[in-house]
Amino acid sequence: SQDVKEDLKHVLFTKEEIQEKIAELAAQVDKDYEDREVLLVGVLKGAVMVMADLSRALHAHYTMDWMAVSSYGSGTKSSGVVRILKDLDTDLHGRDVLIVEDIIDSGLTLSWLKSNLESRGANSVEICALLRKPASVKTEVPVKYVGWDIDPEFVVGYGLDFAEQYRNLDCIGTLAPHVYS
């Protein structure tokens, strides 16, 4: 079987760079939440790698829960209407929530999710995203923790997929043209 890394055109962030960035984000989160217990909410499936590494880089007490959401088909994604496929198990009343995401593209998923979680009585809802594409953002979402701002190119790896593939790469990169054809 072929090495999946051969499908990449360009590696944007290596495994080491990602782990270093995760450690920086974790240090900020630890500092900001030293007096509160945080509920980390991961957004399936893209956020699994960020959640796994960020949560282990944190030092304080944290709990975690997961949501799976879907927009109503790609054609209507700009409507910002999101459907919950798997909801949280946790009651959010009075909780301090940190949403963990791999990437902010249009911002529509997170903008919907943030207000949805706030409406459940959370004390605070903040966002941590490893990547953000400022040129693609349609809805400004206040993001407290961002790893990197990147160009609006399609990227895969470290949780990010193309047709459900490449999530297991330990680096993040752009896809080679032969993959599309």
Q: Is residue 46 a contact point for Mn ion (CB under 5 A)?
A: yes
Only segment of 15-23, 41-49, 110-118, 136-144 that touches Mn ion (CB under 5 A):
41-49
Q: Nearest-CB residue to ligand PRP?
A: 46
Q: Is residue 174 a contact point for ligand PRP (CB under 6 A)?
A: no
Of the residues 105, 149, 151, 170, only one is catalytic, namely: 105
Q: Which two tokens stand for residue 115?
A: 């207000």
The answer to whether the CB of 96 falls within 8 A of the CB of 34 is no
Binding residue for Mg ion, selected from 32, 65, 118, 161, defined by CB under 5 A: 161
Instruction: Provide φ and ψ at 170, rounded to 5°.
Output: -90, -5
Tell me the closest approach of the beta carbon of residue 43 to ligand PRP, in angstroms: 5
Q: Is residue 99 a contact point for ligand PRP (CB under 6 A)?
A: no
Q: Is residue 101 a contact point for ligand PRP (CB under 6 A)?
A: yes
Q: Is residue 98 a contact point for ligand PRP (CB under 6 A)?
A: no
Tell me, what amino acid is at 105? D
Q: Give bridge partners of residue 8 from the DSSP assignment.
A: 175
Tell me the closest approach of the beta carbon of residue 133 to ligand PRP, in angstroms: 8
Q: Give bridge partners of residue 165 from the DSSP assignment.
A: 162
Q: Which two tokens stand for residue 76?
A: 């209507």
Which residues have a Cβ under 8 Å from the Cβ of 3 and sit 6 or more positions away? Answer: none
Q: Is residue 46 a contact point for ligand PRP (CB under 6 A)?
A: yes
Which residues have a Cβ under 8 Å from the Cβ of 153 and sit 6 or more positions away? Answer: 174
Pairing of strands 96-104, 8-13: unpaired
Binding positions for Mn ion, rule: CB under 5 A: 46
Contact positions vs ligand PRP (CB under 6 A): 43-46, 101-109, 161
